[in-house]
Amino acid sequence: MKTKQFFITLAAIAITLLATAVEKPKMNVINLGEDLAMIAVANENPAYFELSILAENGDLVYHKEWASEITDLRQIINYSNLENGNYSLNLKVKNTFVARNFEVNNQGIVVGEEKMKYAPYFDFTSDVLKLSYLNFDEENVKFKIYNEGGLVFENKLGKDFVISAGFDLSQLEKGKYEIELSSYKNQFSYHIEK
């Protein structure tokens, strides 16, 4: 019973931390005509922005990272070189990800709804790894631990909207490890050293 209460408390704390510590950028795409569109981003706090456009097959079409922290961004893109089809516009601001799908067709550009996702929260203290993740896509999530030799541990965490777990890693040998949390559409990694 204490373990169950511990995990419920852990989930509540992690969700509170996520809600108060994450960025909440807004991204809009405005069709300017003549094969031009403006990407407008507003963020409450100064942060480093990373912007990319992916084709439906996963090919990277455009990528830019800003070298200084900013709160507002206005970026004009020329989509005349893009073939007709579906694309994904992705913005990363710290641990927050904003995506908007769009279609290029003979009439111009059609932009879909904004979707926001947050990176999982990880904490590694006293040989205990705690994680919390808001699984917006409600996909099956897997947890894996790798060392230099390969896969050390794997666990399925399910497809609940709120995923919260804790792992006792005291039995792992000293060294560097990569923690991976993944689903069909998302993959996150976290590095620890014992």
What pLDDT is attached to residue 172? 93
Same domain membership, residue 130 and residue 94:
no
Which of the listed residues 68, 98, 118 is the one where a domain comes to its end?
Answer: 118
What does the pLDDT look like over 96-139, one tens digit per residue?
A: 989 899 999 988 899 999 888 888 999 999 999 999 999 988 99
Which carries the bigger pLDDT value, residue 193 or residue 20? 193
What does the pLDDT look like over 47-65, one tens digit per residue?
A: 999 999 999 988 999 999 9
Output the 3-class SS for 154-190: EEEEECCCEEEEEEECCCCCCCEEEEEEECCCCEEEE
Same domain membership, residue 170 and residue 89:
no
pTM value surpassing 0.75: no
Residue 21's pLDDT band (boundaries 50, 70, 90)? low
Same domain membership, residue 27 and residue 107:
yes
